[in-house]
């Protein structure tokens, strides 16, 4: 039976909604109840009880009328066939958009489980970035579903609980919905590990009795101290929720008694000034543990959380963890983003907390734009959902919050994408430091840039934030494509000339695009990446017969060794200028340069479409790595003599290691940088002139080095 006034079941909403919103809510309830008539939950209750329960949860967070109405209607489109257009006509465009946003999160189905999870995650976060109320409705929906999970089939329970633990709970935590986060984790825990849950629950109840006396004594001591300082305060002991105890035991390999030996207290005072006075009073009462103080009032967490945290040496030898906050801070700590994201008519101003939350959510859109697929997006964003923040400063004193482990390059991309893409170094606390330097709390960071600088592939290995990694990969992908286009153009020109033609007309390119559906630039990039063969494309463009192929009509392509991603030197043979070389077209790798005698290209020599005639350019602008093995007599100072000889020939040593041989000899393995084969020959001559050198050998590949090790 439907209640005459549905708001009688939501007294909190009735207290703050306007009369217009109350009337719209009652109308939406009747509309939803009629639409869901005859439908029942798995537990047997009428279906309308679910949307009403979702609205009740949202009302406890004091969400606006539009959100509560959308909560009542959130399953109508999916379950009853009513369109979003009809909802827009009945309840307005904003409500319809919220319902549509929630509905779309439930509509995705994939065969691949991992892809499905990643795609759902991506859709959810992007919906949240556009309107945070969508995810608040979804979280309330998931919370009620978790509370009624016992009615579900056993095989679904485990999947839903795991998804909640991996996706919904972290989002609730990131948005500062502390109570929701803890409840979702605990319910998921009881369904995923029922026996472990029971054991920890029993242990907590058992330990609670022993602890009560200690907690009461500490509370009395704190109350007396604050009363003496004339600081009005509410003090209560706090316990960790069960899943956090379990997680701490797992992560730190602790026994239950070690986790539960920590006493937690929360002190709520009247104003910010009282927070700091309380901190001083506590530090006078109990000794603070060094390094265990955090000021989240001066530097709030990105989700708006504010409190002073301190850990003290307790009267019984156990540590006391204390949180000190105002009533307003406590409200935000419990309700998170929901507490300050009320959609008020005409209120367009954003608080600092709202601005930061909005900034983080908008960064999701940036990461999405630079991610190739859902799995990559999920990989990038997970680090931002499990942050242990570090707070650093810009040169002008602005505070920047980054996940722990973030480096200077993460800071650069946090400032601006262009700053990240053009950074060359960093000054941390006034000292020049590498971009890979991990940042610490309180660091002052200045990024040095250059217009000519471009992202380095190595950055992806030490970039920590999703935003930085996504932008680096995107920039490298664009650079790779540009180089692939240039290489493809060179290869195509070579192929066209080999067929006895000078160039391709615009008409021929237009015809080719119509026939193949690929633009000129795409075709050139495909050739450069080895996805298409230059001579095949040339024949298609010229419509020439295969017999006209003749390599002798074109000269070799010139290689400088510094082209970049689209032209690579083979690691299997490590060619240097002066070595006879050949170019191998390799799919998705572009043009790979090998020596003529490299085993990797031996079987390609008879297939002219798989290789390209190349030669070293006279203008070489880089040094080339070469591996050499030197067998020397065991004598004092021999390594220094060899290194000195290498340096005297103008060669840098990139790497060195040694291995003792049988008898009185040692093998020295050097990786050195040389200009060309002549430079290497001079170096080898100089080394052979050393009386301690018994044998000398150039190692062309890693496998040769390994064989030499075994020699």
Catalytic sites, residue numbers: 78-79
CA dist 284 and 226 (Å) reads 11
- State how far Cα 250 lies from the chain centre: 24
162 close to 192: Cβ distance less than 8 angstroms = yes
Exposed/middle/buried for residue 290 (C-beta within 10 Å: 0-12, 13-18, 19+): exposed
User: Which residue has tokens 């450069």?
Assistant: 528
Q: Nearest CA to 672 among 629, 706, 627?
A: 627
Query: Token pair of 367, please?
Result: 């990461």
Using alpha carbons, select from 314, 230, 315, 312 the residue that is nearest to residue 278: 230
CB atoms within 10 A of CB 617: 14
* Of 301, 302, 300, the residue nearest 361 (C-alpha): 302
Nearest residue to 616 via CA among 683, 568, 556: 556
The DSSP letter of residue 661 is: P
Nearest to 317 by CA among 279, 261, 249, 266: 261
Angle at 16 between CA 14 and CA 20, to 5 degrees: 75
Taking the C-alpha atoms of residue 236 and residue 218, their distance in angstroms, rounded to an integer, is 10
Query: Is-contact 309 277, C-beta < 8 A?
Result: no
Residue 687: which of 699, 697, 678, 701 has the closest Cα? 697
CA-based nearest residue to 411, from 394, 397, 430, 398: 394
Distance CA 138, CA 106 (A): 10
The two three-digit tokens of residue 254, written as one number: 């602790």
Spatial contact of 355 and 342, defined as CB atoms under 8 Å apart: no
Q: Quick one: which H or E segment has residue 39?
A: none
Three-class SS of residue 509? helix
Cα gap 192→553, rounded to integer Å: 71
Can you tell me which residue has the tokens 């079987």?
603
CB 304 within 8 A of CB 337: yes
Distance between CA atoms of 261 and 272, rounded to whole angstroms?
Answer: 30
Q: Which residues contact 106 (CB under 8 A, 6 or more apart)?
A: 78
Phi first, then psi: what are they for 697, rounded to 5°? Answer: -150, 135
Sign of CA dihedral 467, 473, 476, 481: negative
Residue whose C-alpha is closest to residue 528's, from 569, 471, 588: 588
């Amino acid at each position: 039976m439907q209640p005459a006034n549905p708001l009688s079941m939501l007294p909190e909403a009735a207290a703050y909604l306007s009369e217009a919103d109350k009337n719209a809510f009652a109308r939406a309830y009747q509309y939803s109840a009629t639409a869901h008539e005859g439908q029942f939950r798995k537990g047997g209750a009428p279906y309308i009880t679910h949307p009403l329960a979702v609205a009740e949860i949202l009302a406890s967070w004091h969400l606006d009328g539009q959100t509560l109405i959308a909560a009542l209607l959130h399953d109508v489109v999916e379950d009853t066939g009513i369109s979003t257009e009809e909802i827009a006509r009945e309840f307005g465009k904003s409500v319809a958009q919220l319902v549509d946003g929630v509905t779309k999160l439930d509509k995705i189905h994939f065969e691949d489980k991992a892809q499905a999870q990643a795609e759902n995650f991506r859709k959810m976060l992007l919906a949240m970035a556009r309107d945070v109320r969508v995810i608040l409705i979804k979280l309330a929906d998931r919370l009620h579903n978790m509370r009624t999970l016992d009615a579900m089939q056993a095989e679904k329970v485990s999947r839903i609980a795991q998804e909640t633990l991996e996706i919904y709970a972290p989002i609730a935590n990131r948005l500062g919905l502390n109570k929701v986060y803890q409840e979702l984790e605990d319910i998921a825990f009881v369904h995923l590990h029922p026996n472990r849950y029971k054991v920890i629950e029993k242990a907590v109840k058992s330990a609670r009795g022993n602890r009560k006396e200690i907690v009461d004594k500490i509370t009395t001591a704190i109350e007396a101290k604050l009363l003496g300082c004339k600081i009005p305060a509410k003090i209560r002991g706090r316990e960790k929720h069960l899943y956090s105890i379990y997680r701490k035991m797992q992560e730190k390999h602790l026994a239950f008694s070690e986790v539960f030996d920590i006493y937690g207290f929360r002190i709520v005072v009247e104003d910010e000034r009282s927070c700091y006075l309380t901190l001083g009073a506590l530090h006078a009462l109990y000794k603070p543990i060094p390094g265990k103080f955090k000021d989240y009032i001066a530097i709030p967490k990105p989700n708006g959380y504010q409190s002073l945290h301190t850990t003290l040496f307790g009267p019984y030898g156990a540590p006391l963890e204390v949180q000190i906050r105002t009533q307003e801070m406590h409200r935000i700590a419990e309700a998170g983003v929901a507490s300050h994201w009320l959609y008020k008519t005409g209120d367009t101003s954003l608080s600092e907390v709202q601005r930061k939350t909005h900034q983080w959510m908008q960064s999701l859109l940036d990461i999405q734009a630079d991610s190739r697929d859902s799995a990559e997006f999920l990989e990038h964003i997970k680090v931002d959902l499990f942050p242990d923040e570090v707070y650093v400063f810009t040169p002008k004193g602005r505070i920047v919050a980054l996940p722990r482990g973030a480096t200077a390059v993460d800071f650069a991309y946090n400032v601006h994408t262009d700053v990240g893409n053009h950074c060359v170094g960093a000054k941390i606390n006034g000292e020049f430091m590498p971009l890979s330097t991990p940042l610490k709390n309180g660091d002052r960071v200045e990024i040095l840039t250059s217009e000519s600088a471009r992202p380095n592939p190595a950055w992806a290995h030490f970039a920590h934030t999703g935003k930085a990694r996504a932008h680096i990969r995107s920039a490298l992908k664009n650079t790779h494509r540009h180089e692939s286009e240039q290489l493809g153009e060179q290869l195509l020109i070579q192929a066209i000339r080999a067929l006895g033609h000078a160039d391709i007309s615009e008409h021929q390119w237009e015809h080719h695009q119509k026939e193949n559906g690929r633009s000129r630039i795409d075709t050139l990039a495909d050739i450069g990446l080895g996805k298409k063969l230059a001579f095949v494309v040339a024949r298609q463009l010229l419509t020439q017969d295969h017999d006209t192929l003749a390599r002798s009509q074109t000269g070799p392509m010139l290689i400088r060794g510094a082209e970049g991603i689209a032209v690579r030197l083979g690691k299997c043979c490590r060619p240097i200028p002066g070595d006879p070389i050949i170019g191998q077209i390799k799919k998705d790798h572009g043009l790979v340069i090998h020596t003529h005698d490299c085993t990797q290209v031996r079987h390609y020599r008879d297939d002219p479409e798989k290789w390209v005639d190349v030669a070293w350019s006279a203008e070489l602008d880089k040094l080339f790595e070469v591996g050499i093995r030197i067998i020397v007599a065991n004598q004092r100072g021999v390594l220094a003599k060899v290194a000195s000889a290498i340096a005297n020939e103008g060669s840098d040593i990139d790497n060195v290691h040694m291995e003792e041989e049988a008898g009185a000899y040692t093998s020295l393995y050097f990786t050195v940088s040389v200009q060309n084969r002549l430079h290497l020959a001079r170096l080898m001559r100089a080394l052979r002139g050393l009386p301690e050198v018994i044998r000398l050998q150039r190692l062309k590949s890693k496998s040769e080095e390994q064989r030499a090790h075994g020699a």
